[in-house]
Amino acid sequence: MHLTTSAASVMRRATGIVALVAAATAMINPVHAAAGAKVILLGADDVCGYCAAYNTTAQQYAKQKGLDLKLVTNKFDAAEQAAQVDQAIAQKPAVILLWAIDGTALLPSMHKIQRAGIPLLLTDVLPDQKYDNLWVQYSGGNYEAEGRAAAHLMVDGFKARGLGTTGDIIEITGYTGQAQSISRQKGFQDELAKIAPGIKVVGIQPGNWDQGTSTNAAAGLLTKFGKSIKGIYAQEDAMAAGAIVAAERAGLAPSQLSVVGIGCEPVGVELLKSGKLYGTVLQSPMDEAHYTINSAIDLLNGKKLDKLRYVPMPSVTAKDDIEQVCKPWPGTTR
């Protein structure tokens, strides 16, 4: 069939319009490589409140985004998680998301993932960054920065409580030797030495991210150092809650101390409102889960990821809009 010049011109214009419509439609409804892609998240058990909120959010958000996410957890056992990594590799997923129970112990497993050619995204736990060729991205908290922010809250708390610029404080940490514990301690103590050298950490005990353990740990320190203690730094709000119980049992009024936590957790919110906790630093499990799932989707769609992606970490006191900053966790109410 032969077309006249005018007919051919109309045909070309029509073809161009169809192409433009198709391009516009593709922009509105992009074809996601992530759709149906198998992704395995190796994380921590729901026995940890933060972990439970993270896991619930990750699963719900992945479903919403059309991502085939398989969640595998363990009760903070690095050896068990290493075995879980081997099992995940055998399933040949498109991406592995890893909340490393122990960032150092899991390095051999990360090497295995790399040799298998599976992209690795880290969440929550950042190992020594000299090994960062093993992973594509870390998303989660900047623990050292959180510790520095907590130091400023401690000093502000001293001022607000009329405690002066000098005095003894105690510190309750997470698990001994864990990356988060080390970083939050380093950030706090280094910054405190710079901005308030008269405020001294005189005792440190691990609370293992547990309120009951922290109560016992703080009780031992308060028995040893008595009523000279003016402040308590706990590396998590749940541990701060345990330390507050110990302080009350020792005859100290938490509202007259500078008590600082981290997390903006549900228990921390209530303690902020009561005046027993002076301040905390936000690290939201929902933010962290969203960041992780979004990074997996971006990676599968061929986008370049930054090596580090930190979640928001504002400091919060009773003077701030607590309800706006500290969002409720899944399964909790206020």
| Model confidence at 277: pLDDT above 90 | yes
Query: CA 269, CA 2: separation in Å to the nearest integer?
Result: 77
Q: Please state the rounded mean pLDDT for residues 195-199.
A: 98
Q: Phi-psi region for residue 260, left (φ > 0), alpha (ψ -120 to 50) or beta?
A: beta
Q: In the structure, what pLDDT confidence band is assigned to residue 70 with cuts at 50, 70 and 90?
A: very high
Q: At residue 12, what is the residue type?
A: R
Fold of 38-141+285-303: Rossmann fold (3.40.50)
What stretch of H or E contains 230? Answer: strand 229-234
What confidence score (pLDDT) does residue 34 get?
A: 63
Domain parsing of the chain, residue ranges: 38-141+285-303, 143-281
Looking at domain 143-281, its CATH class is alpha beta
Q: Please state the rounded mean pLDDT for residues 323-329.
A: 94
Decide which of 10 and 212 is more confident. 212
Q: In the structure, what pLDDT confidence band is assigned to residue 48 with cuts at 50, 70 and 90?
A: confident
Query: CA 106, CA 252: separation in Å to the nearest integer?
Result: 42
| Model confidence at 311: pLDDT above 50 | yes
What confidence score (pLDDT) does residue 227 get?
A: 86
What confidence score (pLDDT) does residue 178 get?
A: 87
142-163: per-residue pLDDT in tens? Answer: 999 999 999 999 999 999 999 9
Least confident of 14-18, 142-146, 263-267, 277-281: 14-18
Q: Which residues, in sequence order, are CB contacts of 64 under 8 Å at separation 6+?
A: none
Q: At what angle do helices 237-249 and 266-274 cross, to 10 degrees?
A: 40
- List Cα–Cα distances, 202 to 168, 209, 303, in angstroms: 6, 20, 48
Query: Percent of the chain beyond pLDDT 70?
Result: 89
Q: Which residues, in sequence order, are CB contacts of 169 under 8 Å at separation 6+?
A: 154, 199, 200, 201, 202, 229, 230, 231, 232, 233, 258
Q: Phi-psi region for residue 280, left (φ > 0), alpha (ψ -120 to 50) or beta?
A: beta
Q: Please state the rounded mean pLDDT for residues 65-69.
A: 94
What confidence score (pLDDT) does residue 35 get?
A: 65
